[in-house]
Amino acid sequence: MADVEGNPDPLRILDRAGLARAVGGRDALVCLVQDTVDAEVIAAGAALRVIATMTITPEQIDLAAATARGIPVTTIPPMVTEATADLALALLLAVARRVVEADGLVRAGVFPGAQSCRLEGLGVSGKTLGLLGCGRVGRAVARRARGFGMRLLYTDPRPLAPAEEAALDLHPVALPELLGEADFVSVHVPLGPATRHLVGAGALARMRPTAYLINTSRGPVVDEAALAEALAAGRLAGAALDVFEDEPRVEPRLLGMPNVVLTPHIGSAEVELRARMADVVVDNVLAVLAGRRPPNCANPEVFGSREG
């Protein structure tokens, strides 16, 4: 039997000080993608034996600080691919067909009529989709987009095998060509030094003024200030974002733009998936507390040469 304490307010992300207070005297910390577990938080958890994150990569955790303390940091396996791809396509459709704007008008008592020009958007079928990154999620989006008859371009530092490109009807191109030809650019790269602000002012300037940007990867891949400037100047038709540079903060200018669809990082928000993710996290925690090597560990070196 364990004594479990959770964040009592799911609508409020704990800041560093709150998280540091919460870990005091605790054996295990279970954290989510929005929780920043830095060296200060880790130091506050003098009794910590495991940090378990419900993310595939522990980018929000100071892995070096945890390793120096001999604390295992556990993750989940790549299991959110299909859910994230579903959301990416949902956002693409929503922003292109102005679904959120239309919903707001109906709720406000405004009904322009079935053939009014008021809510004309961009068609999706037959358009060109550019995949910025073609890993698991990028390929899953490609599979869905084929059902809309879309032309599929992609750029990735690790090109797919020719047989896989052919199976998905994917065409590899350089980034400038992708940006210049795509009606929709969907971002699916991991966050790292090479991809931070990969979609910045320069990249946005290469996109068509009729094009849309969709991001379901990581917020800092897109320069939000540059995006807001491009949208305000009419150099881009719209954007749909599920992730943000400084979550939960969103670039204020984006909040007032009707051609921007915003969701609060809900790529994995499926009931069955979240249950499976929680099971993995619990299994990781229980393994460490029982003295066993956990199934998913980001810093296995803390176990040395021990087996188990």
Active-site pick, 218, 224, 245, 251: 218
* Residue 101 confidence (pLDDT) above 90: yes
pLDDT in tens, 255-274: 999 999 999 999 999 999 99
Q: How far is it, in rounded angstroms, from Cα 262 to Cα 115?
A: 27
> Which pLDDT value is given to residue 189?
97
Active-site pick, 165, 229, 247, 270: 247
Q: Is 82 a catalytic residue?
A: no
The whole-model pTM stands at 0.93
Q: Is 218 a catalytic residue?
A: yes
CATH topology of domain 81-262: Rossmann fold (3.40.50)
> Residue for token digits 């987009």?
145
Q: Is 249 a catalytic residue?
A: no
Asked: is 16-78+270-303 a CATH 3.40.50.300 domain? The reply is no
Neighbours of 157 (CB within 10 A): 8
Report the phi/psi class of residue 252: left, alpha or beta, with left for phi > 0 and alpha for psi in -120 to 50: alpha
Please list the residue range(s) of the chain that carry CATH number 3.40.50.720: 16-78+270-303, 81-262
**Phi, psi (deg, nearest 5) at residue 260:** -125, 130
pLDDT in tens, 182-230: 999 999 999 999 999 999 999 999 999 999 999 999 999 999 999 999 9
Residues 6+ apart with CB under 8 A from 251: 224, 225, 227, 228, 244, 245
